[in-house]
Amino acid sequence: MSEVKAYAASSKTAELEPFKLERRDITKEDVEIDILYCGVCHSDIHTVKNDWKNAQYPVVPGHEIVGRVTEVGDNVKNFKEGDLVGVGCMVDSCQTCDSCKEDLEQYCENGATFTYNSKDKHLGGHTFGGYSEKVVVDKKFVLNVPENLDIEAVAPLLCAGITTFSPLNHWNVKKGDKVGVIGLGGLGHMGIKFAHAMGAHVVMITTSPEKSGDAKKLGADEVLISKDEEQMKEHANSFDFLLNTVPVGHDVNPYIGLLKRDATMVLVGAIEPLDPIHGAGLIGSRKSIAGSLIGGIKETQEMLDFCGKHNIVSDVEMIDIQNINEAYERVQKSDVKYRFVIDMKSLKNS
């Protein structure tokens, strides 16, 4: 056991503040990681505020972790001291259910162990995330990060990246497909980059005309203003795939109207009730609505390798951990382009 510096919220109303937590000693299967950077995900804020009614305090958030290996267990052959690695939303799963056997640990039928706020199989209590100096993780949940990438901007790939890459990959988005990305935030900006790199004709779909310039810089070929009925009509029944990153309940019927026959819109953000969907919109052209949750470990590695090959990282704003509470306020106002990343030097030197 070793005590490490971290930042935690002690209740749903408290601000995050310095906290000491215990990390386990490595087992034969473990990798110990010195955390260099940790991304700030909206889920961190939802958990701290107990929006999903499942928070366990103290909460140490953070599931977009990039660091370097400091020690490995005897049975760890694929990582060594000094390797640049990442840890995403999960640190364990049952490894025996059908989902785990199919490399879809995020859908583990016995419940994956999430990086924070999940039952800790080793120490009891609950897991603590990446707003900390170091973490000890089972080798199966550690990812290789390509060294050619801008390391500061890699962390958000571990959640925002895989959340958008996985559905584009699973639904076989390919060269020439017309793909719409709905919503331009932490998820949406990654969706544009991936769909563009996959060779799709990418349309950013947003309510905000002022986001057009940024969307095009990120790789969008077109911008569709969803409030403009004329524009929506012009694009009716024309999309091969829609990636819906809107993080709250909303009216998806206008977007269903954009899909081609047999095409799918995948939700990755809205874990709330949607406005009533008209059955006729689906029935009339055999359209589908689906959901998708992050990605499995194998696919997350594929995503990182894809990023290495195409030189894709997130657009980030670096912060010190002492500014985390201000960053949370700005995330809630969508005032970030497009993801905050905590430089952990600020924690270590504190």
Which residue from 161, 88, 131, 135 is spatially nearest to 319, judged by alpha carbons?
Answer: 131
Span 103-122, contacts to a second copy by CB under 8 A? 104, 107, 109
For residues 64 and 260, give the distance between their C-alpha atoms in angstroms, rounded to a whole number. Answer: 35
Which H or E element spans position 241?
A: strand 239-244
Q: Cβ 35 to a second copy, closest distance in Å?
A: 28
Taking CB under 8 A as the rule, does residue 175 contact a second copy? no
Q: What are phi and psi of 319, to 5 degrees?
A: -135, 160
CB of 268 to a second copy, least distance (A): 7
Closer CB to a second copy, 24 or 170, in the complex: 170
Residue in the block written with tokens 């009533």: 276
Residues in the chain: 350
Tell me how far apart the alpha carbons of residues 275 and 345 are, in angstroms, rounded to a whole number.
44
Q: Of 122 and 201, which CB lies nearer to a second copy in the complex structure? A: 201
Regarding 273 and contact with a second copy (CB under 8 A), the answer is: yes
φ, ψ of residue 63 to 5 degrees: the values are -135, 30
Give CA–CA dist 327/18, Å, rounded.
16
Q: The dihedral of CA 173, 176, 178, 184: what is its sign?
A: positive
Strand partners, 105: none
Q: Kindly tell me which of 208 and 285 has the beta carbon lying closer to a second copy.
A: 285
* DSSP of 153-198: GTGGGGTHHHHHHHHHHHTT--TT-EEEEE--SHHHHHHHHHHHHT
Residue 176 is a binding residue for a second copy (CB under 8 A): no
Contact status: 254 vs a second copy (CB under 8 A): no
Identified binder of a second copy from the candidate list 15, 275, 326, 329, rule CB under 8 A: 275
Give the shortest CB-97-to-a second copy separation in angstroms. 10
CB of 226 to a second copy, least distance (A): 18
What is the footprint of a second copy within residues 192-221 (CB under 8 A)?
none
The distance of closest approach from Cβ of residue 297 to a second copy in the complex, given in angstroms and rounded to an integer, is: 16
Q: Which is nearer to a second copy, 12 or 286 (CB)?
A: 286
Residue with smaller CB distance to a second copy, 50 or 285:
285
x/- letters, 290..329, toward a second copy (CB under 8 A) = xxxx------------------------------------
Q: Strand, helix or coil at 93? A: coil
Q: Which residues bind a second copy (CB under 8 A)?
A: 99, 104, 107, 109, 170, 237, 249, 261, 264, 267-293
